[in-house]
Chains A and B, each alone.
Chain A
Amino acid sequence: MSAVQSVTPLRSRSRLAAIREAAPHPTLWRHVVGYMLAVYRREWQGSVFSAFIHPLVVLAGLGIGLGVLVGDKAAAITGGVSYVAYIAPALMVSSAMELAASESAWPILARVAWVRIYHAIVATPLNAADVMVGAIAFIVGKVTFAAAFFACVLLLTGIASSPSGAIGMVGVSLLTAFAFGAPMVAFSVTQKSDQGFAFIFRLIITPLAFFSGTYFPIQNLPFAAQILSWCTPLAHGVALSRSFALGTPLTFGWLHVGALLLWGIGGTIAAIYLFRKRMLK
C-alpha cells in the first residue's frame, strides 16, 4: 500500500483520494438501511394496503373477473394456462414497479426537502453516495418482501405451482424494483415539491402497467409501441417473471436481466451524482 503510494504522483494521489471520498463506503451505507427500517417499524401499518393487499385485489378483480369474460379465448394467447395464471406473474412485477416508484418518490423527497434529515446524514461519516445506495437498497428490499408475500399467496392458492418458479419471480421483482427505484430516486432528489410525481405516475408508471405485456402480449401492440415498450424496464420484468411462472424458456433471458440491471445501475449512478449536486454545494 505505502509502496504504491510512494511512487504515485501527488496530484493523482489526491484525485484518487477525492474519488474515494465520493464513492459509497463498503459497509457504512447499511446504516441508512437500518435507519429506514427503524422508521418502517413505526409506520408499517400505513403501507400494508399498498404493498400487500392492493396487488391481491387487482389479481382477484382482473384475473378472476376478467378471466371469466375472456374465457376460452384466453388460451390462444396464454398458451393453454388460465388467464389468472397468465397475468399473476406479470402483476407481481408491475406491483413491484408501482411500489418501488412510490417508495422512491415521497419518502425520498421528504428527507431531502421537508424534514431534511439527509442534510444531517451527509454531515456524519456517511457521504451522499452512502445515503443513495442505502435508500435504494431499502426500497429494493421492501419491494422484494412484498413480492415474496405475493408469491406465497400464489403458491397457496395454487395459481403458481412451482416453488422454484416462485423464487425466480421474486428475484425478478427485486430486479424490477431496482430498475424503477433507482431512476425514481434520482428524479426525486432533484425535486423541490411533489408536483413532478403526478407526471411520472400518470405519464409513465400507469401506462407501463398496461403496455408491457402484463394483461396481453406485447406482440399485440403496433410495432413502434413494441419498440418503446422494450426500451422500458417493465416489459423485461414481465417477460422474465412469466417465463419463471409458466416454465417456458426464454430466448434472450440474460438480455432481459441485463436491461433491468442497466436501468438500476444507471439510476443509482445518476442518483448519486444528482444528490451530491444538490447537497454538496
Chain B
Amino acid sequence: MTNSAVEPTALIRARGLTKAFGARTAVAGIDFDVRDGEFFGFLGPNGAGKTTTMRMIAGVSPRTSGTLEIFGKDPDLHGSEIRGQIGVVHQQETLDMELSVRENLLVFGRFFGMDRASIATRADELLELFQLSDRAKDQVEPLSGGMKRRLSIARSLIATPRILMLDEPTTGLDPQARHLLWDALQRLKRGGTTIVLTTHYMDEAEQLCDRLVVMDQAKIVAEGSPRQLIAEHASREVLELRFPNGTESIDAKVLEGIGDRYERLAERVIVGCENGEAAHARALEHGLNPESWLVRRSSLEDVFLRLTGRTLDE
C-alpha cells in the first residue's frame, strides 16, 4: 500500500521532532527514518530522550512540535489505527498478574479486534516460539524475569504488527536470558518484522542493530550502522590504561603523544590508536605507570565517549 513504487518509504519518519515537559526539553528537534524491515536502535544513556521518542512513535505522547509520520500518518490524528500495527514492549512489565500466561495473550488479542479463533491459534504459535508452552496455564507472577519479558514480547506480537518497539528490553536480565532474547529478536527480524529498540548497552546495539542513532541530552549526535559509526568516530584499536589513584595528575602532553586521541576518565585513560601494543610501549617510554592495561577493538562505547566525552553508564 504505502511502500508502492517511487522511492522506498520510511515506516517511521521524524523531522524536527520535539517534546518539552514545561521548561525541560526531553527531545530537541531530532530527524530520523526507520525503513521497512530494518532493526533500528536508539543508543544513549538514561535520560537522553529515547523512551520519550518511543512513546511519541507509539502514539501515547503527543509531540510538542515537528513532524512525525508512522506508515505515512500523523499519530496525533490516526493514533488508534497506527497503534493497531505496532507492538510495544515497555521497559517495566505491564502484564496482568492474576491471569494465566495464555490468558494474557488471549485478552490482548481482543484489543486489536481479532476474533477469538485466530487469537487462540496465534497465541499458541507465540507460546511455542518464545518457549512458554509448558507454562501456558500458570500464573504470571512466579515466572522468572526472562520469562516475563518473553511473554511481554509474545503479547506485543499477538496481532502480527509491522513494527515491534522495545524499550530497554534486556535491562535487568541475566546474561543467558539476554542471549535467548537476542536470538528471538533476530528470528523475528528475519521473518520481516521491523524492530525499533532503545538500549544503553552498546554490545546490544552492536549485536542487533542494522542502523542506529546515538542520542545524548535530547539530541541525535550520530547516525549509521554500528560498523560505520565505529569507522567514522573511533580508531581501529583502543588501549585502556588503569590508574586506581586517579588520572588528574597525568600531563596532557604525555597523553597526546601516545595515540591518535585520548579520553581521560576518573580512573582510566582511553587511548584511540591504530596499534594498541605499540601505543602501550610509547606510554611506558613516556614514563606512565598504569596498574593494568588492555588492548581491544573499538566499540560503540568508544564512539559514544568520543562524541560526548562521557561513558554510557554515567
Complex: how many Å from CA A38 to CA B86?
24
Q: Which chain A residue lies CB-closest to B100?
A: A42
Chain A 1-58 residues near chain B, CB threshold 8 A: 14, 17-18, 21, 25, 28, 31, 34-35, 38-39, 42-43
Q: List 21 A-B contacts (CB under 8 A).
A: A14-B77, A17-B78, A18-B76, A21-B78, A21-B79, A28-B80, A28-B111, A28-B113, A38-B107, A39-B98, A115-B96, A116-B93, A116-B94, A120-B108, A120-B155, A123-B90, A126-B111, A127-B79, A280-B60, A280-B62, A281-B61
Interface size range of chain A in the complex:
20 to 34
0/1 string, A261-278, CB within 8 A of B gives 1: 000000000000000000
Asked if B94 and A39 sit within 8 Å, CB to CB, the answer is no
Say whether, besides A39-B96, A120-B90, A21 and B80 are in contact (CB < 8 Å).
yes
**B92 proximal to A (CB < 8 A):** yes
Complex: how many Å from CA A123 to CA B58?
7
Given contacts A38-B106, A120-B90, 10 further A-B contacts (CB under 8 A): A21-B79, A31-B111, A35-B110, A42-B100, A116-B92, A116-B93, A120-B155, A123-B88, A125-B113, A126-B80
The smallest C-beta distance from A126 to any residue of chain B, in angstroms, reads: 5
Q: Which chain B residue lies CB-closest to A32?
A: B111
Complex: how many Å from CA A125 to CA B113?
8
Complex: how many Å from CA A17 to CA B103?
34
Say whether, besides A43-B98, A116-B92, A116-B94, A25 and B80 are in contact (CB < 8 Å).
yes
Find chain B residues with CB under 8 A from A120 CB.
Answer: 88, 90, 94-95, 108, 155
Say whether, besides A35-B110, A120-B88, A125-B84, A18 and B96 are in contact (CB < 8 Å).
no
Asked if B21 and A42 sit within 8 Å, CB to CB, the answer is no
**B278 proximal to A (CB < 8 A):** no
**B97 proximal to A (CB < 8 A):** yes
The smallest C-beta distance from B165 to any residue of chain A, in angstroms, reads: 9
**A157 proximal to B (CB < 8 A):** no
Chain A 83-129 residues near chain B, CB threshold 8 A: 115-117, 119-127
**A81 proximal to B (CB < 8 A):** no
The smallest C-beta distance from A40 to any residue of chain B, in angstroms, reads: 9
The smallest C-beta distance from B248 to any residue of chain A, in angstroms, reads: 41
Chain A residues proximal to chain B, CB less than 8 Å: 14, 17-18, 21, 25, 28, 31, 34-35, 38-39, 42-43, 115-117, 119-127, 279-281
Q: Which chain A residue lies CB-closest to B158?
A: A124
Complex: how many Å from CA A43 to CA B98?
8
Say whether, besides A34-B107, A43-B98, A123 and B60 are in contact (CB < 8 Å).
yes
Quick one: which of B90, B100, B111 contacts A124, CB cutoff 8 A?
Answer: B111
Say whether, besides A17-B77, A31-B110, A38-B103, A115 and B97 are in contact (CB < 8 Å).
yes
Find chain A residues with CB under 8 A from B100 CB.
Answer: 42
Asked if B111 and A121 sit within 8 Å, CB to CB, the answer is yes
**B185 proximal to A (CB < 8 A):** no
Find chain B residues with CB under 8 A from A124 CB.
Answer: 83-84, 108, 111-112
Complex: how many Å from CA A121 to CA B110?
11
Quick one: which of B59, B77, B84 contacts A18, CB cutoff 8 A?
Answer: B77
Asked if B98 and A21 sit within 8 Å, CB to CB, the answer is no
Find chain A residues with CB under 8 A from B177 CB.
Answer: none
Find chain A residues with CB under 8 A from B94 CB.
Answer: 115-117, 119-120
Quick one: which of B61, B80, B95 contacts A127, CB cutoff 8 A?
Answer: B80
Complex: how many Å from CA A139 to CA B200?
42
**B99 proximal to A (CB < 8 A):** yes
Find chain A residues with CB under 8 A from B125 CB.
Answer: none
Find chain B residues with CB under 8 A from A35 CB.
Answer: 96, 107, 110-111
Asked if B98 and A42 sit within 8 Å, CB to CB, the answer is yes
Say whether, besides A18-B76, A39-B98, A119 and B90 are in contact (CB < 8 Å).
yes
Complex: how many Å from CA A120 to CA B33?
25
Say whether, besides A38-B107, A124-B83, A279 and B60 are in contact (CB < 8 Å).
yes
Find chain A residues with CB under 8 A from B108 CB.
Answer: 120, 124
Find chain B residues with CB under 8 A from A34 CB.
Answer: 107, 110
Q: Which chain B residue lies CB-closest to A122?
A: B60
Find chain A residues with CB under 8 A from B128 CB.
Answer: none
The smallest C-beta distance from A36 to any residue of chain B, in angstroms, reads: 10
